[in-house]
């Protein structure tokens, strides 16, 4: 099955999860993520703003702000297919809904951050592998962004356990996640990759 077919199949599967179940499971998954030492040490955290049936991040964004972390949220630059990184001093105040229904800060009304200054990135995606592989939505925004991240930046993907797949189609340019955090486990990608 190619990436396009897999995306369609997984989107249908995810749509069948009730909103209530998503809320409950999201809290558990993000609760685990908050206990990670890498998160506790992080000063600057980039977090996607959840949409549709994604793992819910709104409450998590507010918790990060309350902890005194500098929060960065992504803004899609549709002109060149890149992400602008918006410094987010409060949430959801100041955010506007895009034509796709996603909440974003207006790029012209916020201070921008540099990917190299981010300590911890919470990544969206449709499916993942234990080895840190990620199947996104196909636009490549995050792949382009992660090419420029610092070596110290930790990438973490929250996921429902049933969306961690054995045979995920991965291409050489795809950037692996350092961790995949699910309802039942934290997968550290380096534990599952072949040793060099």
Whether 194 is in a domain gets the answer no
Total structural domains in the chain?
1
- Give the pLDDT confidence score for residue 30 in this predicted structure: 98
Known binding residues for substrate: 49, 54
DSSP labels for 53-85?
Answer: TSPP-HHHHHHHHHTT-EEEEEEEETTTTEEEE
Whether 18 is in a domain gets the answer yes
Range of the domain at 77: 3-188
Whether 126 is in a domain gets the answer yes
Known binding residues: 3-7, 49, 54, 134-142
Tens-digit pLDDT string for the chain (196 aa): 788 899 999 999 999 999 999 999 999 999 999 999 999 999 999 999 999 999 999 999 999 999 999 999 999 998 898 999 999 999 999 999 998 889 999 988 899 999 999 999 999 999 999 999 999 998 889 989 999 999 999 999 999 999 999 989 888 777 899 999 999 999 999 999 887 6
Kindly report the pTM of this predicted structure.
Answer: 0.95
Q: What are phi and psi of 168, to 5 degrees?
A: -95, 125
CA 52/CA 62 separation, integer angstroms: 19
CATH number of the domain encompassing residue 16:
3.40.50.10420
Nearest residue to 126 via CA among 159, 89, 90, 171: 159
Whether 176 is in a domain gets the answer yes
Known binding residues for ATP: 3-7, 134-142
Whether 152 is in a domain gets the answer yes
């Amino acid at each position: 099955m190619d990436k396009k077919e897999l995306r369609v199949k997984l989107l249908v599967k995810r749509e069948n999860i009730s909103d209530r179940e998503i809320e409950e499971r999201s809290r558990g998954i993000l609760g685990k993520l908050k206990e990670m030492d890498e998160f506790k040490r992080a000063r600057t955290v980039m977090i996607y703003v959840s949409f549709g049936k994604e793992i819910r991040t709104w409450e998590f964004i507010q918790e990060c702000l309350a902890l005194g972390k500098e929060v960065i949220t992504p803004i899609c630059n549709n002109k060149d297919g890149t992400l602008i990184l918006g410094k987010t001093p409060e949430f959801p105040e100041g955010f506007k809904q895009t034509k796709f229904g996603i909440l974003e800060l207006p790029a012209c009304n916020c201070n921008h951050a540099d990917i190299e200054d981010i300590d911890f990135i919470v990544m969206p995606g449709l499916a993942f592998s234990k080895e840190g592989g990620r199947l996104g939505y196909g636009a490549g925004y995050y792949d382009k962004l992660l090419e420029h991240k610092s070596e110290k930046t930790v990438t973490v993907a929250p996921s429902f356990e049933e969306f961690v797949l054995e045979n995920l189609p991965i291409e050489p340019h795809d950037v692996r996640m350092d961790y995949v955090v699910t309802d039942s486990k934290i997968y550290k990608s380096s534990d599952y990759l072949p040793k060099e």
